Amino acid sequence: MDTSVLDYELPPELIAQRPLPARDASRLLVYRRAEREIEHRRVVDLPELLSGELVVVNDTRVVPARLALRRSSGGSVEVLLLEHLDGNGKWEALARPSRRLRPGEELGSVRLVENLGGGRWVVSVEGAPDGAMPLPPYIHEPLRDPERYQTVYGSVEGSAAAPTAGLHLTPSLVAALRPVSVTLHVGLDTFRPIIGSRLEEHPIHGEQYLVTEPAWRRIAEADRVLAVGTTVVRVLETIAATGALSGRTSLYITPGHAFRRIDALMTNFHLPRSTLLALVMAFAGVEAVREVYRVAVAERYRFYSFGDAMLVL
């Protein structure tokens, strides 16, 4: 499929630069697939919009992984931790500028271990990471409260980016929805733009996931499942296809995918030419999603990580 189907026009002012004061005050565009109808609601309305779906969330927490460091020569280096590789402080990371860095070099609490190429390194970190939140590059305002880039139910630290659909849920919504939790640690390659001309040619980086047996049993036995976020979709579709409750998933969901365990989806509005938008199109239909995005732009919805959400039923 040509990647141009993932293009759309977005006025820059619709890119949300900060979260709303109340998480559940975000707008919610509801798209009903069977009727091909669009409805405009708020996230706070979510419980009354559902019809018995089992809600599944991703309980990962974002690591304060953007580290501002200095070389012994005095030069500044930014290290962004991407994935915890073991229990002894080893991480895969991005370092920049990377060209002059050498294995064995000490950057404060970080030691460079192995150059993986393309700015990627294996590094060893002393103690728990204590940097800034790794906000996406399209957010230009500083984040006053780091907890607003975490879900209220996140408990398993390990992500390089937030599962943003879950940022809308409040403790009261969680109590009403009674979700089941799965874990997928989000890597930056999930958000890497598709740069080729063909959707199928884009490589996707693997990410670590874990689902407990009791959680999967409830999910497998549910009549209908609502995935809160594309990361949940990838976990559940991976397990439905492989039966493995833990490991790494490189599942790349594009239009034509036969969904096995997802019946409804809540997700934010995604960047053009992203694997996330391709997944949403696979679930709701290419032309349907293109129309939904046209409506969202016309209705001045807020886009991306701190923006509004859509619910596909």
Residues 241 and 301 in one domain: yes
Q: What average pLDDT does range 231-257 have in this prediction?
A: 96
Task: Return the pLDDT at 99.
Answer: 86
Q: Are 245 and 239 in contact (CB under 8 A)?
A: yes
Residue 81: count of CB within 10 angstroms of its CB: 22
> Is 277 a residue whose pLDDT tops 80?
yes
Residues 207 and 93 in one domain: no
Residues 234 and 308 in one domain: yes
Mean pLDDT of the chain: 94
End position of a domain, from candidates 125, 145, 162: 125
Residues 82 and 194 in one domain: no
pTM comes to 0.94
Dihedral sign, Cα of residue 93, residue 96, residue 98, residue 101: negative
> Is 118 a residue whose pLDDT tops 90?
no
In tens, the pLDDT along 27-62 reads: 999 999 999 999 999 999 999 999 999 999 999 999
Residues 46 and 107 in one domain: no
Closest by CA position to 265, among listed 30, 101, 24: 30
Q: What count of residues does the chain have?
A: 313
Residues 56 and 76 in one domain: no
b/e 264-297 (16+ beta carbons within 10 angstroms → b): bbbbbbbbebbbbbbbbbbbbbbebbeebbeebb
Strand 106-107's sheet: what is its strand order? 66-70, 76-84, 90-96, 120-125, 110-117, 106-107
Residues 107 and 222 in one domain: no
| Residue-range definition of the domain harbouring residue 170 | 3-62+134-312
Residues 101 and 214 in one domain: no
Closest by CA position to 272, among listed 138, 168, 154: 138
Residues 177 and 97 in one domain: no
Residues 197 and 279 in one domain: yes
Residues 52 and 90 in one domain: no
**CA–CA distance, 24 with 28 (Å, rounded to integer):** 9
CATH number of the domain that 71 lies in? Answer: 2.40.10.240
CATH number of the domain that 198 lies in? Answer: 3.40.1780.10
Q: Total domain count for the chain?
A: 2
Can you read off the two tokens belonging to residue 64? 């304060």
In tens, the pLDDT along 135-191 reads: 998 999 999 999 999 999 999 999 999 999 999 999 999 999 999 999 999 987 666
Q: What average pLDDT does range 73-80 have in this prediction?
A: 92
Residues 22 and 96 in one domain: no
Between residues 89 and 291, the one the model is more confident about: 291
Task: Return the pLDDT at 50.
Answer: 98
